[in-house]
Amino acid sequence: MKEDATRRYYDEFSGWYERERGRGYHALIDDLEVRVVEEHLRGGRALEVGCGTGLILERVARVAERAVGIDLSAGMLQQAKGRGLDVMQGLATALPFADESFDVTYSFKVLAHVPEIEQALAEMARVTRPGGVVLAEFYNPWSIRYLAKRLGPAGAISRNTTEAAVYTRFDSPERVRAMVPRGTSLVGFRGVRVFTPTARAVTLPFVGPALTRAEHFALRSPLARFGGFLVAVLRRDG
């Protein structure tokens, strides 16, 4: 099954996942994604679909009434549980929650690895209350990141495996519009990594701070549609 292969991939990835997190490029991406969640969350209930080791969820939990995470990988969840987070194992395509359970349901860097992406989006909408928000992040072919991925080698996720080992899809803003699940409306897009050409660029003197300012500016600007990580803001119809 595809889920078994993906689970093994992320279990293997869990050992290296946080090696570069918390600084430089990865810290910038995390900051931008947390900012998107905080824009829509005001002390309510939040669900992260594909919470990994809990780096984003831990920060969201500080501003949420309740923050819950779900992930396919036991290896990732072991680290999230070590942070004291409310997490469980499960599938994005079959969320183990009742209808209308959350005020904000979000997913970063996960949906691009789900073949049944429309089913996952429908599930995220189902568990979100009327008037609530779904934040769904896609890998965008209209971006500098896409060019870098196409031209450069696949990144390593362990000593023996690269990113090429997992199913990955890219969806343009127009394709995303066509996938909006029933019962939700597309409010707009947020763009993460609009300008940054490589992860190393963020560490360069003068260049790094300039890129950081530019990325925070672009997040909610008309340039958002060119973000390498394209976040669709969906409002659950009331």
Q: What is the 3-state secondary structure (H, E, C) of the chain?
A: CHHHHHHHHHHHHCCCCCCCCCCHHHHHHHHHHHHHHHHHCCCCEEEEECCCCCHHHHHHCCCCCEEEEEECCHHHHHHHHHCCCEEEECECCECCCCCCCEEEEEECCCHHHCCCHHHHHHHHHHCEEEEEEEEEEEECCCCHHHHHHHHCCCCECCCCCEHHHCCCCCCCHHHHHHCCCCCEEEEEEEEECCCCCCHHHHHCCCHHHHHHHHHHHHCCCHHHHHCCEEEEEEEECC
Q: What percent of the chain has pLDDT over 90?
A: 91
pLDDT at residue 45 is higher than 90 = yes
Low-confidence winner among 13-27, 132-146, 167-181, 200-214 (lowest mean pLDDT): 13-27
Q: What percent of the chain has pLDDT over 70?
A: 100
The confidence score (pLDDT) of residue 137 equals: 98
**pLDDT tens per residue across span 59-112:** 999 999 999 999 999 999 999 999 999 999 999 999 999 999 999 999 999 999
Task: Name every residue whose Cβ is closer than 8 Å to that of residue 48 and which is 6 or more positions away in sequence.
Answer: 56, 57, 60, 67, 68, 69, 70, 106, 107, 108
The confidence score (pLDDT) of residue 22 equals: 84
pTM: 0.96
CA 55, CA 228: separation in Å to the nearest integer?
20
Task: Name every residue whose Cβ is closer than 8 Å to that of residue 172 and which is 6 or more positions away in sequence.
Answer: 140, 141, 142
The confidence score (pLDDT) of residue 3 equals: 81
> Mean of the pLDDT values across residues 17-40?
94
Q: What is the topology classification, in CATH, of domain 2-236?
A: Rossmann fold (3.40.50)
pLDDT at residue 128 is higher than 90 = yes
The confidence score (pLDDT) of residue 79 equals: 96
pLDDT at residue 19 is higher than 60 = yes
Average pLDDT, the chain: 96
What are the residue boundaries of the structural domains of the chain, listed by start?
Answer: 2-236
The confidence score (pLDDT) of residue 1 equals: 56
**pLDDT tens per residue across span 68-77:** 999 999 999 9
The confidence score (pLDDT) of residue 220 equals: 97
Confidence bin at 238 (pLDDT 50/70/90): confident
pLDDT at residue 186 is higher than 70 = yes
pLDDT at residue 205 is higher than 90 = yes
